[in-house]
Amino acid sequence: MRSVSFVGQNDIQLLYCGAEYFPALIDAFDTARSEIYLETYIFAADETAGEVKAALIRAAQRGVIVNVITDWIGTGRTQSKILQHDFQAAGVGYRSFNPWFRRGIARMHRKLCVVDRTVAFLGGVNIVDDTHDDDDPLIVLPAPRWDFGVRITGPLVATIHWEMAVHWARLGSISWSARWATFREQRTRSPTDAREAIVAGLVVRDNLNNRRTIQNAYLKALGGARVSAMLANPYFAPGRKLRKGLSSAALRGVDVTLLLGVGQYRFQDVIARSFYPRLLKCGVKIVEYRKTQLHGKVAVVDDNWATVGSSNYDGFSLFVNQEANVVVVDADFAKKLRAHIERGVADGVPVDLSEFDRIPLYKRIFYRFAYQIYKNMLRLITWGKSAE
């Protein structure tokens, strides 16, 4: 497994929701001079996505090389066909990840972009209007979707660009010798042990030599936590190691808070709640966010370690899908992100252990049944390794 490559002297700007993210993204497209790479799980057919699409086409018409990858499931078969037609006509390179499950069940869940090799974007924000439900665009959300991205300039951009260029090449028609050379280069790239005051690293998950990199980044941060750990995520169904990491930190006296999204998928909510009793008994604080869709995948530990990215705390993100997070070691950045999480916690509903003492027996049985279905499904998909 490759170590996380940290580099210093980056400027990393936190972008809250689509209102901050999309203007920055479109501005970068409109000022691009040579090259754009974009990866997203969802590229919707709504007005916001249309503005992003138009900006990409404008760039291509100026002579900028534009390469776009979307996930076939996340974007949908029909929309993928439309994008292929429209982008091809405009001179935009377009590839759909894993159509008809030709590469197995893994999905491309990353949200990445690099423009002119000088500025990068990363986070949890799909190319979709954040005022509408991402499953049903006819449903208007009570508030903009709670989500985050980052805008990055500095040495880390080169790492992100390399990752995206390799991914684009893998999905194309390249020879086996070129694929092998790319694989060898990926394995031999040496990490930088950055000692500067401001450092950040790209943390990716794939099914080659980064199978547990994102989970291990969380475990290392939790293992070294001394004061506090605040984590927010929409889909909570982690393996045994991450659950143990959360519990162990709380038992050591670390103030551990989980802000979890609920209400989007009932089965997912049931699975998440099957973990609540043990975590609560260990002292982990759990808050359910019901104000709107919580889609952010963020965390802050001890006010100097922070992460923003695409990886959920479920088996698919941690053990199956392709994901990308950035880890930032910087007090100012962590402080800004922590303030957002604290506001989310204030808007949420705390979960009390006593609530589970009053749960009827049939619900307890249902929780366990749902968990067993989920666990066995993940074991089958990941060859028995999902509980690690």
Active centre residues (catalytic): 109, 111, 116, 295, 297, 302
DSSP state of 99: G
Residues in the chain: 388
Q: Could you tell me how far CA 305 lies from the centroid of its own chain?
A: 17
Contact 214, 311 (CB under 8 A): yes
The string of DSSP codes covering 177-194 is HHHHHHHHHHHHPPPP--
Q: At CA 30, angle to CA 26 and CA 34, rounded to 5?
A: 120
Q: Which residues contact 22 (CB under 8 A, 6 or more apart)?
A: 48, 51, 52, 125
- 3-state class of 96 per DSSP? strand
Residues 202 and 337: their CA atoms lie apart, in Å, by 18
Q: How many CB atoms lie within 10 A of CB 177?
A: 8
3-state class (DSSP) for residue 102: coil
**Which DSSP category does 215 fall into?**
H
